[in-house]
Amino acid sequence: MEELTLKSKIIVCKKNELAKEEQQLVDTAIRQTDSSYAPHSHFCVGAALLLENGTIVEGCNQENAVFPAGICAERSAIFSAGAQYPNEPVVAIAVAARSPEGKLTEDPVSPCGVCRQVLVETETRFQHPVKILLYGQKHIFVIEGVSKLLPLTFKEF
Ligand code: THU
């Protein structure tokens, strides 16, 4: 018998320690929280994608009374990029959220399992890692690629 230990490296930093382009991406995700439609959870999430050509694509969570009809901020941005720029690799994503009280979260919010799976396929599709920037007031988590967030990823054989 053998034991496998899976490790994920996460860089913890402040916004001003990020490259200018990444700070801008985080600011866009923060701004997108204001466009969120979250009448049910009141948890407003914003996402911003950086494409290889420098374009920023924005998204935010969209809820619905028919619960599964809604979508997370991350997938809203990724699917929007897929529709508008189908051939442009996604190189980074920033995510930020406001609590129901309207304050930006102290701790970084990390993507749900479904969004991680969609990010995995985005990486596979473009053969390019997607850098993940998760904003919190206390600190930002930087993760070099979604495989670090979703080990033992499902792949079709
Ligand atoms: N949500 C996101 O948009 N992204 C995440 O990473 C986690 C959760 C949304 C879904 C729902 O609209 C609300 O946050 C509460 O779960």
Ligand 1 pocket, residues with Cβ under 6 angstroms: 38, 41, 43, 45, 61, 63, 70, 72-74, 109, 111-112, 115
For the CA of 44, the closest atom of ligand 1 is 14
d(CA 155, CA 124): 10
Class of domain 11-148: alpha beta
φ/ψ bin of 145: left (φ > 0), alpha (ψ from -120 to 50), beta (otherwise): left
The best mutation among 32, 42, 45 to test binding of ligand 1, ranked by most ligand atoms within 8 Å of the C-beta, falls on: 45
pLDDT for position 19: 98
Residue 128 DSSP SS3: coil
Q: What is residue 67's predicted lDDT score, i.e. its pLDDT?
A: 86
* pTM for the full predicted model: 0.96
Task: For residue 74, indicate whether it is catalytic.
Answer: yes
Cβ–Cβ < 8 Å for 58, 46? yes
Whole-number pLDDT of residue 153: 86
- Select which of 22, 58, 63, 74 is catalytic: 74
Q: Do 61 and 51 touch, CB atoms closer than 8 A?
A: no
Predicted local confidence at residue 31, as pLDDT: 98
- What residue type is assigned to position 94 of the chain? A
145, 89 Cβ separation under 8 angstroms: no
pLDDT along the chain (157 residues), means of 10: 92 98 98 98 98 98 95 98 98 98 97 96 96 98 92 80
The Cβ-side half-sphere exposure at 62, using a 13 Å CA radius, reads 11
Q: Which helix (H) or strand (E) holds 119?
A: helix 113-126
Map out the domains of the chain as residue ranges: 11-148
pLDDT of residue 151: 86
